[in-house]
Chain A
Amino acid sequence: MVAHVTTVAFEGVDSREIDVQVQMSSGLPAFSIVGLADKAVSEARERVRSALSALGLALPPKRITVNLSPADVQKEGSHYDLPIALGLLVSMDILPAEELTHHIVLGELGLDGMIAPVSGVLLAAMAANGADKGLVCPATNGSEATWAGNNEILAAPSLLSLINHFKGSQILSPPEQTKPERPEHLLDLADVKGQESAKRALEIAAAGGHNLLMSGPPGSGKSMLAARLAGILPSMSAREALETSMIQSIAGQIEEGRLSMVRPFRDPHHSASMPALIGGGQKARPGEVSLAHNGVLFLDELPEFSRQVLDSLRQPLETGRAVVARVNAHVTYPARVQLVAAMNPCRCGHLDDPAIRCSRAPKCARDYQSRLSGPLLDRIDLFVDVKAVPPMELDRAPSGETSRTVAARVTKARLRQRERLEACEMKVPGSTKGIFCNAQADGNLLAHIAAADEEGRALLLQATEKLRLSARGYHRVLKVARTLADLADDEIVSRPHIAEALSFRRLQTD
């Protein structure tokens, strides 16, 4: 007789059901696992053997074969321990076979029979929900699993408690959902003195989800401003939060099963490699750009990133997906991020101040800025010069708006966008799939939602010619103008909005 237990394998953010088959037959005693298993899965042998002996059970002296089917899908990770152990228990007639057929099982076993937490439980729970099955997962991941919906969840602390549950002698109670993470004390925008134009750009970026590049001398507050972006961004909708959490789940970054409604803010160091940023590695893992899905990817000291790394960002920024192609893995991770970058105008940073700039200016600046490729800069909607703060300003008490006031305006602008997108969805179903803000709109949808009036169109056309904007640049100006109109509570995009949007374009210096 062959015992069957169902588990899942992960491919990007998709999961695929895997049938764990356990057969015991006569012959020389052996225990082998087949079905394209990687090292962590093959090592399950020793963990399972030892966990069973911790319960006082020895593997019967038979030829035991475990097959992970379909056999052509690469299996990696440690979550196959528990399904294999349960399969063995079924074929040893310790557990009833029919109990397990309606569950998806995942978990890692310790040598003492405890069940250790694994990554990807949220995805498995969603797969279980889709297949109308229950879920068996580690106790530590229980509350993470509850977010997928109301399927039957067994969050077991140990193998023994799971056996007792199936035998009916000690029923496991369903896991409790932990409350979404409260935003801890966020930095306030009022701390930043001066820098009104940069704050305005930050507000626009937050309101429309636009990409932003801040350039200025060291110490002018670029990083300070970026760090305060999280405080003015609207919190995620339930659907966005789920998408983001799914990626965090694969990366094993959900702590205590707590989902966060706060948009992720990732700031990788500039020594980051391409796999670290885009995703990949020998086993495909989501990179920073995916971990920042629906949130902000902040790249400080932009030109210091290696050129290859920066250019690899082009595709995710455009399509909202990071495609990782490897010999033994070909996966796509969602990566809809808002890019916020900061840079110095030249190596010494003081290009605009003739008194302290180095002797190599302005050639140095040209060299420094040429590290950024044109196509990457073309994807940035808002360019803003952050000037050094004058001494007078530093001496004054902080007087600017607080993050709370700005956040209120941003939320209102986002609400307008959502209502508009919903109206579009009603007219043409499916047209706004995966689009939550102005910056993500494209093509027909953009033309529809950001139609400018006569004067505005004339100005835009003229500017396109004069500034030699690319087609993408043209559309980006329109998107920013749409957001400006939303902030000003205008339904129609008009000339002043276009003009302000144009002022945030990068001027060709030479």
Chain B
Amino acid sequence: MMMLELHVWGPAFGLPSIDPESLAAIAFITQTAPRDQYQFIQSSPSAVPTHQLPTLYNPNSQTYHSGYPSITSHLLSLYPPSSPPSRKTAADSTAYSAFLTAHAAPLLALSLYVSSTNWSSTVRPAYSKILPFPLGWTEPPAIRAAMSRRAAHLGMSSLDTDATAEREEAEREAAVAQGWVNLPKGLGKGVGGALAPEQRARIRLEGLAGEVLGVLGEVEWKEEEVGTRCLAWAYLALMMVPDVPRGWLGETIKGKYARLGDFVDGGLGEPWRRWWARRKLKVTGRVDALQEESGELWRMAGMGVALVVSALLWKKLPQLGEPVQIWQKPLSGFLGLGAAGIMLGHLAETTVVDHWR
């Protein structure tokens, strides 16, 4: 009995996964494979040998398939579709998949990752929920940095108000150090300064969104291949569904591209809708189940995780937050009592050790 393992990023925003490719892979496998032949494993890239999510593990051939394109092609080789797509459909699907990866991904990155407000209020907490303790501190900043690089060519780094605020703070401090008289914060910024960066850049953002959504909105997704349809659905769902404070992208879709909104609500067909309804019903209990399933894997990959994390800590210590925070156990018990306390504490410690033996 074959049981495929699909390693994915964990759930967030009421969707099965926080990552578009993982989300697409989940949607794809529920529509192609029989229900008893796969299981989902909530994971982290450091816990799979390929260091990439989503990853499909096939225990029969003992192979890992990383990335959405290889997962779909492997699943299609296992469960071939009843009627192969026409040449035109296949070509269009390839083109739209490339378009989604090239253009929808940077747009999504702007909305969820580059925008400081959305990141700190919604996305970062979501990552903290799905990652175990040390990874929750190390991986999200790296993901955000990678996403910002991906969206850099759109020239909207002004949404990252953290960086702007840091620069302004540095300027203020420099001015204070030189003895200049200081205006109170926020004074002299004018009306533009009172607006959020998303509000100031709203027209440009809508223009960027329109370039991508205009193309996607013209496509008859029901006629495309399942793989491309799932990918489009995943990107659009992550654009629309998360309840973020700066919801310009979701508002643009709902306001101007109602067809895409309908597609997100019910475009993946009946099997997916049934699966999704079931999943929604037991979403609270399901998360625990997912984690239990993945417990074995966590243990197995524990060593790898520790190594990777120590490497990350070594390489990216400043990313954990400035200034570096060191948590020290507060003095308690005997140690609070001065020299005598230390002696007593010593005794207590040895007794503990004895106890453990």
Q: Do A and B come from one complex?
A: no
The interface of chain A, by Cβ under 8 A from chain B, is none
The interface of chain B, by Cβ under 8 A from chain A, is none
